[in-house]
Structure 1
């Protein structure tokens, strides 16, 4: 009887180890809240088939970066909080290619992964201390720190600042 008990415990522990290894092999937890961003394509970490799905808490856990900048779409200095593009691409194992960013209305822009640098663009989830509703560029907006580098004040960069972002496909 004692032998059967230890056998059952050992079988249970092996099952837990296998289940845990399978759940963590892809490196990402599953979202518990509303999914704001789905990333697909050439990524090495997933949590839903071949995609990575993120809720707000997951984005905040990767990185919380604040930029203060003016934009051509708003008045005055804006305070934006979000996950840096550099941190997100690193978390997904992306180091080359193009990010095909898509908005809820299917508007698409292409951003080279080389833009994902420290001190560069963020995927903002807060504007001036508040989450962004769909009617105000939300729920996510890719924003470059326009005031930190004159190179960010170009038509090419402005077109990459997609709002109402909900999908990114990484293409090589």
Structure 2
């Protein structure tokens, strides 16, 4: 009888796991959350692609040869989210975080890239989002600070001040 009771308890406790539809839309459709003092906004790929697009080709210290990056200017993304001054804390899936002052973000760089060589980036390939600078464009982009801010697997931005 105790075995039957244990089996019934196990079946009831597993029922919520079995009740999830197989075709449910996963929460992972959200690529990034941007949080301000006013609240937060979630961005999926379609929301990012609805913003003005940009791309450039550059080499990086993490890849072989020149790579083509496509995405949205960080400045456009932040403006869309309502962040226009101060600084942000950009954080990756593994909790690596960097602070970026908005006065060091311009109309050229950095971008939040979601395409690498025309393909959507996977987590395995430093995606789905990667903050990237056009390093080959100017030595001004080839600094330790910019390299440290080139955060891949980006999944959240918080208005820091």
Q: Give TM-score, length-normalised by structure 1.
A: 0.75
Q: Give TM-score, length-normalised by structure 2.
A: 0.80
Q: How many residues align?
A: 135
| 1:33 shift after superposition | 8.2
Q: Point out the more displaced range, 99-108 or 86-95.
A: 86-95
> Any gaps of 5 or more consecutive residues in structure 1?
1-31, 45-49
- Secondary structure of residue in 2 paired with 1:62: coil
In the TM superposition, 1:1-150 aligns within 5 A as: 34-42=29-37, 50-150=39-139
Stretches of 4+ aligned residues off by more than 2 angstroms: none
- Secondary structure of residue in 2 paired with 1:51: strand
The answer to which structure has the higher strand fraction is 2
**Partners of 2:52 and 2:122 in 1: CA distance:** 21
- Secondary structure of residue in 1 paired with 2:146: helix
| 1:88 shift after superposition | 0.9
1:3-50 residue CA offsets vs partner (Å, 9 max, x unmatched): xxxxxxxxxxxxxxxxxxxxxxxxxxxxx98100100024x6xxxxx2
